[in-house]
Amino acid sequence: MGASGFGQSRLKSRFLLFGIVFLLLSPVAFVAARSFVTLTDPSPAVGRAQVVTQGISALPGTEYVMRVVRRTAPALGDAKVGRRVLGFALATDEPILITDVEGDGTYKDLARLAPGEAYMTLNGQRQIRASLSGKPTQYLSIEFVPPDRGSDIGTGELLFVSNTITAPAGQRDVDLVRNVLAQQDIAKVPDTGGQIMVLATDGAIDILPKRTRGLRLESGQSAVFNAEEIEIRPSETSAYGIPTNQLGALTNMLQTDNPVAGYVVVVIGPEVPKTGEPTPTPTIPAATATSNTPSVTPSPAQQSTGSIGVSGRLCNPGVTIESISDVNCPVVPNGYDLSLTGATLNRSLADASQVDSSWYWSDLPLGTYALTATSYPGRTTDYFIPGSAAVGRSSASGYTVTLDQGSPDIILPVYFLQGRPQPTTSTATFTIQACQQGLVNCASPSQYNVDPQPYLVGENGQTLTAADAQRSGDAYIWTLPAGTWSFYQQGWQSYYYVDGATIDGGKPYVFTTDGSTATSHQVQDEIIVIQ
């Protein structure tokens, strides 16, 4: 059990949530207060809590994370079609309109969400989310995505992402439960047989588990608990309440019961059989099984097609395969192309669907495919896809990706490597003359017995003398990398002129080079000739 925080400045929506509790239920039995989860279990909402929306869906892949993203719904008419991931849209500031785009391109308006209302969207659905106030408005999106896409949120603001969670098999009952607490309220979250993840987004909440140590969560902190029943209470730091204009999006109870805390709960419930298929039989825990009660495990459904997803990452110059990380290889959503071929199939990213910053080819027959980068972003010199049981070969020979019954859906990062930048240089030429007062009768300094002894000092302290320059008459030519440099004359202590500008005695003339463009400067040392 641990807690981690993030800045409160990120939580500026007018109506903020006070906690997000994620209850994860395993598809098999648990030896606990509740032995296993069944389709006949009551609603996950306990006490005054309410289920505000629900649906049925499989979780993404074999592992996934849950994240909370603050997103913006443009004004109606300006909102664009986007392919959504599995999750809930929760209106917080102003009403938003949810519109699905059908396969034939027609629009189907589904729901108007007033502040505090939510809607569940299935993975891959093409959807428009628009503000009904005539101007853009923010809303919260609770999303289920594969682990390697946890921070791949496109234009949203990431508020929280969980650790990796093992996905239960089959399609699941998914509920969104809402509750608010007055100062003396005690809310219960039952032991559902899975982990419990609590995220406090505003205010202070006391978490009181039945078996482990309690924890107080201040705004922006989160914690994970193992399967057990917990209680949630407002902490005493909330004794003076919260202004109702920060809570009004949640429920009318806010205006009547003087609440000081609120939260929503996402519950991943029991497996729901597809229509026409037998009801899955839960496994009886060994601790409660008898000799004449066999253990039954449903067989997973066989898939005939799968999908390949790719997420491009442009690594910083100098990053090698050995030093690749998500920090030094940020996501690049566009500017490259990939070829996916196999049997009679030949596709590019133009044939893929973009979700946030990733691209997906769907409905692929199981088998082995060749995946090759055909155009690169930036100054890429090579690319790299991490190998696995499903991914083989290299960029030189082209990568192979195999979809089978064990791994029908695969998401791959594609790292584009830029190599080390080649240093560039340019020349800086200083031509020095000695002139009489009024800058007349200018000639070579040697004619007036002047030795200017010029030198340069770089911004890193590097010093280049006249011996480091090429000479062409009275011109000194230095070859310099890009940066800021200072020109001095050790043999001339009086004021002088550079390109017509007066420089005080002993002070430098400062200039810059870009490493590619040659510069030229005229230096005039003014002397007094005694007749």
- Structural domains of the chain ordered from first start: 1-59+168-272 (no CATH), 64-162 (2.60.120.10), 305-417 (2.60.40.10), 425-527 (2.60.40.10)
Q: Which residue has the tokens 């109870």?
A: 253
- Nearest residue to 489 (alpha-carbon basis) of 462, 524, 513, 517: 524
- Nearest residue to 173 (alpha-carbon basis) of 77, 274, 95: 274
- Whether 227 has a pLDDT exceeding 70, the answer reads no
Round to whole Å and give the CA distance between 409 and 327. 25
Q: How confident is the model at residue 210 (pLDDT cuts 50, 70, 90)?
A: confident
The answer to which of 37-46, 84-93, 113-122, 458-467 has the lowest mean pLDDT is: 37-46
- Compute the average pLDDT of residues 218-238: 68
Burial class (CB within 10 angstroms; exposed 0-12, middle 13-18, buried 19+) of 470: exposed
Q: How confident is the model at residue 302 (pLDDT cuts 50, 70, 90)?
A: low
- Whether 296 has a pLDDT exceeding 70, the answer reads no
- Whether 492 has a pLDDT exceeding 50, the answer reads yes
Alpha helices (H) along 215-328 = 253-256
List CB contacts of 394: < 8 A, sequence separation 6 or more.
none
Q: How confident is the model at residue 33 (pLDDT cuts 50, 70, 90)?
A: very low
- Whether 202 has a pLDDT exceeding 60, the answer reads no
The answer to which of 208-212, 218-222, 344-348 has the lowest mean pLDDT is: 218-222
Give residue 59's pLDDT: 84
The answer to which of 4-18, 44-58, 63-77, 332-346 has the lowest mean pLDDT is: 4-18
Polymer length in residues for the chain: 531
- Whether 491 has a pLDDT exceeding 70, the answer reads yes
Terminal C-alpha separation, the chain = 92
For residue range 154-185, what is the model confidence (pLDDT) as tens digits? Answer: 778 888 888 888 887 888 888 777 777 777 77
